[in-house]
Structure 1
Amino acid sequence: MSRFLSKSLAACVLLAGAQVLAAPPKAYRQEVVVAGSHFQGVHGLVVDGKGHLLASNLLGQTVHSVDLSTGAVSTLVGPPLGGADDVTLGPDGSVYWTGYFTGQLMRRTPDGKTRVIAKELPGLNSLAFRRDGRFYVTQVGRGDALWEVDPNGKKPPRKILSGPGFLNGFEFGPDDRLYGPLLMKGQIVRVDVDTGSIETVADGFGMPTAVNFDARRENLYVVDSVRGELVRVRLPSGAKEVVAKLPTGLDNLAVGPDDQVYVSNMVDNDIRVVNPADGSIRVLVESRLAVPSGLAVAPDDPDEQLYVADVYALRRVGGREGKIQQTTRVLSTRMTFPMNVSLSAKHVVLSSAYLGSLQVLDRASGEVLRTIPNTNGIQGALELADGSLLVAEAATGKLVRVSTAEPAVTTVLAEGLEGPMGLAADTEAQEPGVYVTEVRSGKVTRVRLSDGAKSTVAKGLKAPEGIARHPDGGLIVAEVGRKRLVRIEPATGRLTVLASNLRIGLPESAGLPPGYLPTGIAVGGSGTIYVTSDIESALYRFVPVP
């Protein structure tokens, strides 16, 4: 039995709840809906020459080692230091990785010592050594530059290029030129790092994200994330040939000494191996979810179909049987990295602190109807009856209302909240309002929609994140700081612990808004409580025991 299943088949958790509309259940049975994974969206890869593949795990803040023969995964560097977008090996066997959010370049020496060798470079992404030991990194998204860095961290970084066009996963060729993709231009380029000159090698890609040379250093393999293709580029002609068709969302690759190509997919959270000789594909590391975060269920859905904001995809999961029924993927669609999700009668509302946007989707078709930029660390978002959106800005401490007009108009409903995270509507009340979890203050606050007046429902919590209304009126909250699931009576503030020792709550990291990866909570009409696990990339349910 896997470690995920063994943890999930827990004994019943006793509770003594206060009566609201009806007496709450006295016990819950914890079960697995979707089993977990070691990764939270796998990214950069490098073969270590010792039978292992090193894999970077940005959101999980870890660097892993994968056994190439068995697929067994172990943790090389744990959170919070291991927040790696890409990873490589130095000439002396040191492991180097880039902290995209922290802006730090990290090194772990063969004796196990880890330290920062460069900092204040937000958006650090790709990295590679030249044959002479010189070391280069790029900024992508939160910057756009190519730097030379001292591998020992004794000299300050030196900028080589500004604004190349998001130069991503690259490698040096036998000519000591740097080969890599320009994400937004669909090109593979060759860079002379001594002169800064750039030449196009091949173009016409959807979104190339990384390149690697074959073992003989004659051909260049390219992963195209949007098209889901592994492409071989023949040099010097630049002629292209599709080697294998894969799911969209490809992020990086590494080529072994036997020319087997290892490909990471951040959307499917897996690693596949392609044999370029015949295009055959096998799975080395498999997952079902990537980074399950926000969670929603329609209260009138007897099947309790769950909408999971999986960061790299919006997935629908059967709450009763765990079947993933529908997936909308990032990059190959206009959806942008969902981290929170809520439902209205006709729409799905997504919010993403990752790329700073709100999105409204048609619930029936999945079509993106509106995209509204917001870079204030947005967390929970709800659609109100008039179509306006209510949004928690964790970075500003505000609860704002976004109009239906185009362009959208944002007004402040309430401020002074400390890391507002989860939202639960209370719109049927005589004075309609919304419940808000405050991850910094440890409160659950009710905000009146008519004038923004605030009242404290509960305090003394530690990092409350996800929140949902139970059918009987109680509030179910993920108290992440204490790794537990609690129930709060909104009229009295009385708290009851429903489950403890949950695998939730990755540590916070520099450069991220409060509660960056939310622990999602949803409650079905049956009273079953659903919870996402960021640590295990899993989905659990707590079923009331008669």
Structure 2
Amino acid sequence: MHRFLCSCLFATMSLGCQSEEDPSVVYRKEVVVPGSPFQGVHGLAVDDHGRLLASNLLGQSVHSIDLSSGVVSTLVGPPLGGADDVAIGPDGSVYWTGYFSGRLMRHTRDGETRILAEDLPGLNSLAFRGDGRLYVTQVGRGDALWEVDPDGNEPPRQLLSDYGFLNGFEFGLDDRAYGPLMMAGQVVRLDVDAGEFEVVAEGFTMPTAVNFDTSHEHLYVVDAATGELVRVRVATGEKEVVANLPTGLDNLAIGPDDQVYVSNMVDNDIRVFNPADGSIRHVVEARLSVPSGLAVAPDDPEEHLYVADVYALRRVGGLDGTITETTRVLSTTMTFPMQVSLGARHVILSSAYLASVQVLDRASGEILRTIPNANGVQGALELADGTLLVAEASTGRLVLVDTAEPAGTTVLTEGLEGPVGLAPDTEVEEPGVYVTEVRSGRVSRVRLSDGAQHRVVSGLQAPEGIARHPDGGLIVAEVGGKRLMRIDPTSGKSTVIASELPIGLPESAGMPPGYLPTGVAVGASGTIYMSSDIESALYRFVPGN
């Protein structure tokens, strides 16, 4: 450790960022995949004005959808609107849960938004009892049921814990809470005062939410792992699959006409099921969810992009935007990919969402290894010997993960300020890696032999995605400046490729530096690809005269 720290002290002095427009190369900006109003859609609720409210966790927004026109508007935007589930209170106020932030929020009819409770990580679902009392659950980052003062005047009161993740629930006319226990595959009836559960129906794979129809005779249940919309007769527990939808279903809401609105986080869409005739149609549809990290094989003439779409790993044709392959979360063991890189035989994914790095077979998509890492993992690369190089944004370290099971970890270097993006520089006498530091505004090169750091450029505004151009230059997404930059790795000179770009959602409490990284990749043609977190879109920048 001391040896490489000494090397860092004697590394070459940093070069300031002296950006300028490059008149020699003009890039044409084109859309590869158009965007969406959401960055993954979750909780739903129908209000008394014929609008559907939709929660957008990663996009940190609560949306309102006009059901007559399908027009989507933002009720509360970033950073306060980060909602996993949403409900409407007796007075018409809108309440939502912040999964990452651990906050319960309220938006009143007169437009005031305030925090009602906090420090509840994994805050997930919420529902009002018939008498107006409010209950919330923690899922994933906690496992508990709480009663919360709807006005925020009294502290939350924990009622239950460690019961198996009660997700999207609702109170029945009998004053009992009905909801899915995700880990048990059951729908249960809960007396919240006595803390007693009864099983209503079981045999689900991953039930995520329930809702009563207007008669309260039936519960509709969504199963995320199978994509089934199931109708359960409450009195008997009898189940009927009424619709087969894509996997990744998250929540549902039922309108006064018994139309069933279903959200799908993986496909980033909302569909409506009509129980009268069994028809299904889109209310809002999209092609991508949350495109973040990007990778492209240098020898692929079609420049197919691997897209870490958070709720799926997708392959997208860089030339035509065709999505040709999808591996989805929830129906597989994939852990919400935010970064992606390519090795000779493997695809490497990393996720701060579920704190892990995964190795996939590049040909089959099979998940071969999952390595837990709770230190805010961002970029990850596979070296020639199979060792993984991982950027820990929360600790400021680059770590090496060996091929053993369980994996051993060695610190390569530390003291980086929010390392996010990695670009290899291994075909040289002294192999290294370029890394963006979102907190310090630097791009550094780290030598793989001893971890010595060399500052390439400083003074950037929140650099995230980074890739090597075929000519050796570095292409960097400068998210704070909403620009795409080219940086000479030898001189540190930077030039602006494009500006005023739709990138840079604010970081979210409970997530590491870099949050949803803006991905950059460069094809063999010199075409540059970039993800847009704000629009959930993909762009390309084609060089021309």
Q: TM-score per shorter chain, which class? A: over 0.9
Give the match for residue 522 of structure 2. 523
1:506 partner amino acid: L
Q: How does 1:86-485 map to 2 (within 5 A)?
A: 86-485=85-484
Alpha-carbon offset, residue 451 of structure 1 = 0.6
* C-alpha distance in structure 1 between counterparts of 2:371 and 2:472, whole Å: 32
Alpha-carbon offset, residue 194 of structure 1 = 1.2
Q: What SS does structure 1 have at the residue aligned with 2:109?
A: coil
* C-alpha distance in structure 2 between counterparts of 1:323 and 1:192, whole Å: 50
- Residues 241-260 of structure 1 show CA distances to partners (whole Å, capped at 9, x for unaligned) of 00100000000000001000
* C-alpha distance in structure 2 between counterparts of 1:16 and 1:511, whole Å: 39
Alpha-carbon offset, residue 510 of structure 1 = 1.3
- Return structure 1 stretches of 4+ with deviation > 2 angstroms: 14-17
Q: How many equivalent pairs are there?
A: 526
Contact 1:15 1:27 in 2 (8 A): no
Q: What SS does structure 2 have at the residue aligned with 1:267?
A: coil
Q: What SS does structure 2 have at the residue aligned with 1:155?
A: coil
* C-alpha distance in structure 2 between counterparts of 1:421 and 1:68, whole Å: 40
> TM-score, structure 1 length as denominator?
0.96
1:16 partner amino acid: D
- Residues 42-77 of structure 1 show CA distances to partners (whole Å, capped at 9, x for unaligned) of 000000021110000000000000111221100000
Q: What SS does structure 1 have at the residue aligned with 2:386?
A: coil
- Residues 112-161 of structure 1 show CA distances to partners (whole Å, capped at 9, x for unaligned) of 00101111111100000011011100000111000001000001111111
- Residues 272-303 of structure 1 show CA distances to partners (whole Å, capped at 9, x for unaligned) of 00012332110000000000000000011000
* C-alpha distance in structure 1 between counterparts of 2:444 and 2:341, whole Å: 19
2:421 partner amino acid: G
2:41 partner amino acid: V
* C-alpha distance in structure 1 between counterparts of 2:180 and 2:245, whole Å: 19
Give the match for residue 53 of structure 2. 54
* C-alpha distance in structure 2 between counterparts of 1:351 and 1:443, whole Å: 22
* C-alpha distance in structure 2 between counterparts of 1:288 and 1:518, whole Å: 19
Q: What SS does structure 2 have at the residue aligned with 1:184?
A: coil
Give the match for residue 73 of structure 2. 74
Q: Which runs of 5+ in 1 are unaligned?
A: 1-13, 18-24
* C-alpha distance in structure 2 between counterparts of 1:335 and 1:143, whole Å: 20
Contact 1:436 1:445 in 2 (8 A): yes
* C-alpha distance in structure 2 between counterparts of 1:382 and 1:282, whole Å: 41
* C-alpha distance in structure 1 between counterparts of 2:247 and 2:391, whole Å: 31
* C-alpha distance in structure 2 between counterparts of 1:433 and 1:509, whole Å: 31
Alpha-carbon offset, residue 333 of structure 1 = 1.1
* C-alpha distance in structure 1 between counterparts of 2:406 and 2:393, whole Å: 23
- Residues 156-182 of structure 1 show CA distances to partners (whole Å, capped at 9, x for unaligned) of 111111112110000001101000001
2:341 partner amino acid: S
Greater RCO (CA < 8 Å, at least 6 residues apart): 2
* C-alpha distance in structure 2 between counterparts of 1:311 and 1:509, whole Å: 15
* C-alpha distance in structure 2 between counterparts of 1:58 and 1:538, whole Å: 17
Give the match for residue 16 of structure 1. 22
* C-alpha distance in structure 2 between counterparts of 1:442 and 1:401, whole Å: 24
Contact 2:212 2:254 in 1 (8 A): yes
Q: What SS does structure 1 have at the residue aligned with 2:183?
A: helix
- Residues 349-377 of structure 1 show CA distances to partners (whole Å, capped at 9, x for unaligned) of 00000001111101110000111111110
Contact 2:230 2:239 in 1 (8 A): yes
- Residues 93-126 of structure 1 show CA distances to partners (whole Å, capped at 9, x for unaligned) of 0000001111110001110001011111111000
Give the match for residue 17 of structure 2. none
* C-alpha distance in structure 2 between counterparts of 1:439 and 1:367, whole Å: 32
Contact 1:56 1:86 in 2 (8 A): yes
Alpha-carbon offset, residue 217 of structure 1 = 1.2
Q: What SS does structure 2 have at the residue aligned with 1:185?
A: coil
* C-alpha distance in structure 1 between counterparts of 2:430 and 2:507, whole Å: 36
Alpha-carbon offset, residue 16 of structure 1 = 2.2
Contact 1:15 1:26 in 2 (8 A): no
* C-alpha distance in structure 2 between counterparts of 1:512 and 1:339, whole Å: 12
Contact 1:28 1:542 in 2 (8 A): yes
* C-alpha distance in structure 1 between counterparts of 2:294 and 2:159, whole Å: 44
2:230 partner amino acid: V
2:328 partner amino acid: R
* C-alpha distance in structure 2 between counterparts of 1:191 and 1:235, whole Å: 13
Q: Which moved more, 1:310-319 or 1:506-515?
A: 506-515
* C-alpha distance in structure 1 between counterparts of 2:517 and 2:70, whole Å: 29
1:286 partner amino acid: E
1:517 partner amino acid: L
Contact 1:360 1:371 in 2 (8 A): yes
Q: CA RMSD in A?
A: 0.8
Q: What SS does structure 2 have at the residue aligned with 1:481?
A: helix
Q: What SS does structure 1 have at the residue aligned with 2:503?
A: coil
Contact 2:22 2:497 in 1 (8 A): no
Contact 1:170 1:178 in 2 (8 A): yes
* C-alpha distance in structure 2 between counterparts of 1:188 and 1:225, whole Å: 14
Give the match for residue 39 of structure 1. 38
1:246 partner amino acid: L
* C-alpha distance in structure 1 between counterparts of 2:154 and 2:423, whole Å: 51
- Residues 391-432 of structure 1 show CA distances to partners (whole Å, capped at 9, x for unaligned) of 000001000000011111000000000000000000011110
* C-alpha distance in structure 2 between counterparts of 1:101 and 1:490, whole Å: 36
Contact 1:61 1:78 in 2 (8 A): yes
